[in-house]
Structure 1
Amino acid sequence: MEKPKTKRVTIADVAQASGMSKAAVSMILNNKPGTRLSAETSERVRGVAKKLGYRPNAAAQSLRSGKTRTLGFISDQVTVTRFASEMITGILRAAEGRDHTVLIAETFGKPDQLAEAVTQMAHRDVDGLILGFMDSRQRELDLPSTGLPTVLVNGLDGNPSTAVLPNEYESGAKAVQRVIESGARTVAVIGQLENAENLPETYPSITRRFGSIQAALDKSDLEVVGHWVLEDWNPSDGYTATTQMLVEGHRPEAIICANDRVAMGVFQALAEQGLMPGKDLSVLSFDDEIIATYLRPQLSSIRLPYEEMGALAVELLLDGKLEPVEHQIDMPLIERDSMKNH
């Protein structure tokens, strides 16, 4: 037997229960300016509405305002990998805090699907778009003309646009300063990406990260005993580079790794030589993925602020702050056990 549908609570119901007119209740619940009702009365009406379970009619509000209170988020793999899932958390929480919902679409890393996803979001009358990227790259997006306000997260377009990125300009300097504070006198850097060296303008975040590291090293008294360029950022790449470095007789007092996956391979190579991070030398990394807490000892890492980037994108959209500029989010150093101290 079907359960009867629950009757929707209306403004008329709230008016009857509160002893107010429908016009007065409507002004209070829709936050209309110009009402002469007291704050005490307004609070009482809102309390009655909450008790009855009143919810505004979204369709009616949309007709009145021309807004659907819905944002579109299009991902190029963010939704299907674990690495940047906090971006979605930041977007959803910020949207909820502003009484908006979010529609999510995934392109699975296929550029030709992006235009179609944007068009589909426009057909669903979203109020704005957030495009989130797994890899912080500069792309030629060639988006269809929809008139929708758009913010990019963790990526850049060849055309000027509103973008939110991690502050890689300062991240490398922060890593070098922490190495200095550890008391190290020699350091190796493992992980500049080969493609980023060849095409620096295409990989802005990586280029900025390693440019910042190099500039800070140039100003320091640290002796650089190795700077290893990798084809990819996987544990096997970090392992191979570290093994080769030790075989060649280089024994740095600190290692700066490109990211946590590289650091995982570095840990393995060090363990095979009986060396322990945090005791025999310092190891510092970037990104602060979940594996940083699984390694033993736990890995100190400079965190990619995915959640904060997603939240800021929502705020920029809803506040109409859509100048074609980059908004940089600080990357905090998460201290764990892999760094030595004086």
Structure 2
Amino acid sequence: MTRRRITLKDIAQRAQVSVSTVSYALNDSTTLALSPQTRARIRKIAKELGYVPNSWARNLQSKTSGTVGVLLDKPLTLPRYAAVIEGMRPILRDHAVGLTLLDPSGENVEAGALEDYRSGRIDGLVFVGHDEASASGFVRDAVAHYSLPFVALDCGMGQTEQPYSTVDFDYAAGVRQVIEYLTARGIRRLIHLRPTADARAERERGAELLRAVAENPALSLQICYNGVDAVTLAYLDAHDTEAVRRYQASVAKTLTQRLSESATHPEHTAVLCSWGADVEAAVWAVRERSPGTTVAGLAQGQLSPSLWPELVYSRLPLAEAGRECAEAIIEEMHTDPLHRRVRLIPHLEGGEHLA
């Protein structure tokens, strides 16, 4: 037999007060003056009866869902995006706000997210960008016309004024950190292993890399494309283990050939990997063909230096980005929010000097 839910009326009858008084006593934000003794007695009775607040009814009354939607079209099996979501959860939890991943499939994804907001299923939206995926004009119009609380992550929009919050990574700063470290160690030859796809983050990294080489005549730069375009990337994201293995073998073969083409001593050579999946192939090629060559990751998640002694890397602050997004969307859901402009600098890690 299902136990009947305890209501405010049950508590009122036991405490011999009105239902409204019980409601005021249990509501932390009420401004009604109640004596501490009355409030404590009512709350004690509520606990004894096993009262559980009806959050659904409370949200209905306040016309909120208590939920933030996250629009992400990448699988959470990828550590990069899982770290962002895990960074968001504690902050939202502290504010009694839930998180729901919106279905990214279909042609009208953003329209569906707006309908979720207008119908009260979500109170705000966080858009997680990547590659060329970014907040569209449709979303920006929704912010303007429907006051949609909105945060754009990794969309490269923090340089302009927007009626919402933005959180971005400073990819150029990450490149500067790595190049400064490598040149200080006497590196003179750079092999940049980068994707064929011309994504925004890659353009930022590439431009900064060219500036660094131009400023240091002792540096030489060789571009080595890994063959990854948008179609290949989507295929590899599906985590087809055999496909990933074949891809890494192909990258290692290409890089091995490049490492053999120069008389530069390995200790003065570094392989720069734009894409995290290339690091393992690069380390394998270095161990096989050119021991002593440094491998540097330009946009990594957390890696273990003990497993990758040849590696120094620019680690993206992914969990921090999630926390910033959560705090920003909480602010955006309030009246007259201060739209954040956050630009996070990667952390230089790995290598014996950083141990």
DSSP 3-state at the match of 1:151: strand
Matched, 1:303 2:303: no
Residue type at the aligned position of 2:125: L
Aligned to 2:188: 186
SS of 1:86's equivalent? helix
Match status 1:117 vs 2:120: no
Task: Tell me the equivalent position of 1:151.
Answer: 151
What 5-or-longer segments of structure 1 have no aligned partner?
A: 197-202
**Tell me, which stretches of 5 or more residues in structure 2 are unaligned?**
234-246
Q: Following TM superposition, by how much is the alpha carbon of 1:248 offset from its aligned partner in structure 2, in angstroms?
A: 1.0
Aligned residues: 323
Residue aligned with 1:286, SS = strand
Percent identity of equivalent pairs: 19
Contact 1:10 1:54 in 2 (8 A): yes
Q: Is residue 328 from structure 1 mapped to residue 343 from structure 2 by the alignment?
A: yes
Q: Please point out which of 241, 255, 261 is paired with 1:248.
A: 261
Confirm or deny: 8 A CA contact 2:256 2:285 kept in the other structure: yes
Q: Is 2:109 the counterpart of 1:127?
A: no
Secondary structure at the aligned position of 2:277 is classed as: helix
Q: CA deviation at 1:270?
A: 0.9
**Does residue 318 of the first structure (1) align with residue 313 of the second (2)?**
no
What are the Cα deviations for residues 184-227 of structure 1, in whole angstroms up to 9, with x where unaligned? Answer: 2424142344443xxxxxx3322223333343444457x32333
In structure 1, what is the Cα distance between the partners aligned to 2:61 and 2:326? 23
Residues 60/240 of structure 1: CA separation in 2 closer, same or farther (3 Å cut): same
- For 1:48 and 1:178, how far apart are their aligned partners in 2? 64
Residues 218-272 of structure 1, C-alpha deviations (whole Å, 9 max, x = no match): 4457x32333142328645652453233221244343332133222121111111
**TM-score (structure 1 length as normaliser):** 0.76
Which deviations, in whole Å up to 9, do the C-alpha atoms of 1:271-312 show, x marking residues without a partner?
11261xxxx243221333466669543743222233222332
In structure 1, the partner of 2:239 is none
| Aligned mate of 1:206, from 188, 202, 205 | 202
Listed as ranges, the matches of 1:146-295 within 5 Å are 147=146, 148-155=148-155, 160=162, 162-181=165-184, 183-196=185-198, 203-219=199-215, 223-230=218-225, 231-232=227-228, 235-236=248-249, 238-249=251-262, 250=264, 251=266, 252-273=268-289, 275=291, 280-289=292-301, 295=307
What is the rounded CA distance, in whole Å, between the counterparts of 2:171 and 2:149 in structure 1? Answer: 26
| 1:259 aligned counterpart, secondary structure | coil
SS at match of 1:6: coil
8 A Cα contact 2:175 2:314, kept in partner: no
The residue type equivalent to 2:284 in the other structure is Q
TM-score by length of 2: 0.73
Other structure's SS at 2:122 match? coil
Say what the alpha-carbon RMSD is for the aligned residues: 3.8
